[in-house]
Chains A and B, each alone.
Chain A
Amino acid sequence: MLIVHHLAKHFAGVRALRDASLEVRAGEIHALVGENGAGKSTLVRIVTGALTPDSGEVTFDGKAVNVYSPTVARSMGIAAIHQHPTLFPDLSVAENLALGLESTGAWTRVDWRARRDRARELLARVGARIDVDREAASLSLPEQQLVEIARALGARARLLILDEPTASLTPQEVDRLFALLGELRAAGTALIYISHRLEELPRLADRVTVLRDGQTVGTREMADVTKAELIRLMVGREVEAIFPKREIAIGDPLITLDGVTSRSAGIHDVSFTVRRGEIVGLAGLVGAGRTELARVLFGLERLDRGSITLNGQPIHPTSPQEAIGYGIAYLPEDRRRHGVILDLGVDANLTLATLKAISKGGLLDHQAETSIATGLVQKLGIKTAALETPVRNLSGGNQQKVALGRWLVRPPRVLILDEPTQGVDVGAKSEIHRLIGELAGQGMAVLMISSELVEILGMSDRIVVMRQGGVAATLDRATATAESVMAAAFGTASAA
């Protein structure tokens, strides 16, 4: 029914997909799995018309797709349900179900009775008892999902894509959802089911396709494949020897987390220690709570229970200013949104966290600023036309070096790195890795969040794997393998 042939897609020099193929039959539930960044969502976005591929083709129902637009995809009968429902929160359930389904002109009178009746009928088909006059915002997450599925039914979707639909459902809700998906399959609908929960796939899926690094590595009958085999397919590559791991004398414990729990961040009972000179890799799937943990340490989320001990002293940062005062530095994920200030120059960005160091009584000392910035630009090898060039004009790798350099004006004791090489080209990547090694060598405790297994395995002295807001496993450099990390992240192995 759906045939995806050798799709490739680049984003600003980063290859999201290079050779992805997929074939889904009518009346089949087809699972799509792969680690973070394997290209699953890019593939889905192409199939639903949100992105146009660089090369390759999509055939639906025997017809080649040549215009990629959400409207075209919807009219062909392709619908997607995302992890976070996309209903209009201020509109009623009936209105949400009517949007995009009622094919009336902009000035046609709305027939409210018909609209409500139709909404009730669609909801009945998915077995949901929801008042059609309720505002979508007042619905629970599973209810919202049901409304979305009802909307897909109303649109006569013949291919339904579900992206992590069970991430926030209770087991009973999952059972109900699976029963419904089974009925849809029986009615001849094709379903693509994306999930990190490998254990639920055998109950549900007929076949499974594994993506790795933007490439399809295989399609298997679900009945013939084991979880271990799936993980091997997902990981399936050697850790290349591109990480010249420096031998660093690891010192005393510097920061110790004991039972750290934060309801607002969804973190519970996280305990581990990072020692001087040690790089601890924080692995896990997207949504496992890694960034949220970093936000707790940096005073951005409330610490409800547990303790953080820095250098023997209990600390309780409640704002970034306080955390910085304790000597904690945080290089956030998504540098363009959080890491750098695009309108400011390289120099102003580098000195932003240490304005006090370059000012006397509130007055900026431009000479001091220039000398600090010059030093960092040389040390980090930042390629920029001039010191005052807006960071907007730098390449991704150089922007990231600026974001990192900000924390080296006054070297911190604890350095938290969140996806430090995301979207950075290969050359800059290894330079950043070298820098991280150097910083650890100076006695910093480094906590590195990364979704890239190779990076985690290559850089870390120890690896803490998070899963669903808690620690799933702590692995040693010597014994950690891609499989053991992934197994812990997917929750399919007993904690090592």
Chain B
Amino acid sequence: MINNGLKYTCLLVTVLFFSTACRKAKDFPESEQDPRLSGGSQTTFNAGSGAFDQSFFGLNAHDQLIHDIGDSKFSSAFVTAPAHVNPGIGPLFNNISCGSCHQSQGSGVPPQAGQTAGLESFFLLLSNGGVDEHGAPADVPGFGNQLQNNSSYGKPKEADYSVTYTNQTFTYPDGSTAILRAPTYNITHIYPGGTLAGAQISPRMAPAVFGLGLLENIGDATLTSMANQWRTDTNVISGQVQYVWDVVKNQLSVGRFGHKCERPSVEQQVAEALSQDIGITNKLFPQENCVNQSQYYDDGLHPEITDSLLNALVYYMRTIAVPARRNVTDPTVMRGEQLFKEAKCAGCHRPTVVTDVNVILPQVSNQTIHPYTDLLLHDLGPGLADGRAVYNASGSEWRTCPLWGIGLTQVVTGQTAFLHDGRATTLEQAILWHAGQASYSKTFFTNLPKSDRDAVIAFLNSL
């Protein structure tokens, strides 16, 4: 005779087992997630000058080595060929290494006002106003689509340029004021290879380079969903997805990197920057940026960076961690966070996004991150417009800038310059330049009492 007690105990245990084993694990609700983890599991708590150059966690020894090789390549100063170490720069370039522009892996600054630009963390993009066969901005004959203001010895640089500023005073409703500076670019000493008359010119300051692997893994469908969300809303915010020519896939792909989402992937961003900014040919861009210009010469290196080093550099750029938020429980910061949402800044500067599943790079897979961007294009009004369309982006549309890490700009780079051209030297100025789809948010901000405006800035500095 079976012991009834034992029988019922077994039944109970069995029921309990299956009920727990079959229950799906629930995600943590957002309220229970640690708000400091801007990069999900790939968040670093380094808040010093190295905050933007911390490796992903959990890389195995081999992958860490590749990351470190790429890190070294990022800092490598290139020289002209023939040379034993790092040959291949030029004939035309903007700077001599990745790190020269993206100093400490952070953002750059504009050239000093009134002075001829030299090796800067900044350059000017060009277009003749048309489009090429893929819809990209058409080259300016004799110059291409980027102005290279440095050259190898004996070769003429494309031109010199400088920037001057006109100050405008913004007056808040409460009577306090702020100075906004509007840039004007002056191009001189144009080499005798063509004319820039009528060319569209767009200034571009170097952005910070951490967290790119996570941004790359925000799904296309996620971006489309965010864009579509606003179309069903009566709100004026209306982000759109960018589509750009993907040289790897040989098709149009979603663009997400660059101030107008010009590049679809970290790989293409890195390869094109090597080509255009330093003059380093590579497997994706095997021709010199001046191949059809008089400055061109063949230095015998094809390509000028090996595939394996390019791959290491791309892997490095994909595996830089995101700095954690600071002071998240400070009452002023929390007040600012609330106002940020009330002002609808979060409509474009999305606080939370979940990345796609990724079995190749598991560190970026299914991560809840806080990039404060939707990676979509938004019209920010005539004040910030460059007049240079790029695929879907009009002359007044820009990618929502990721705000994660922005509060560490000072300690990492020693200076602060914001927006695509660095015209804003403070976060307050950057907000005041917002217009177009951001008009509501800007007006909400300007109508706040000063203490609340300071709270918003404190919140941004906590990112």
Chains A and B bind each other: no
A contact residues vs B (CB 8 Å cutoff)? none
B contact residues vs A (CB 8 Å cutoff)? none
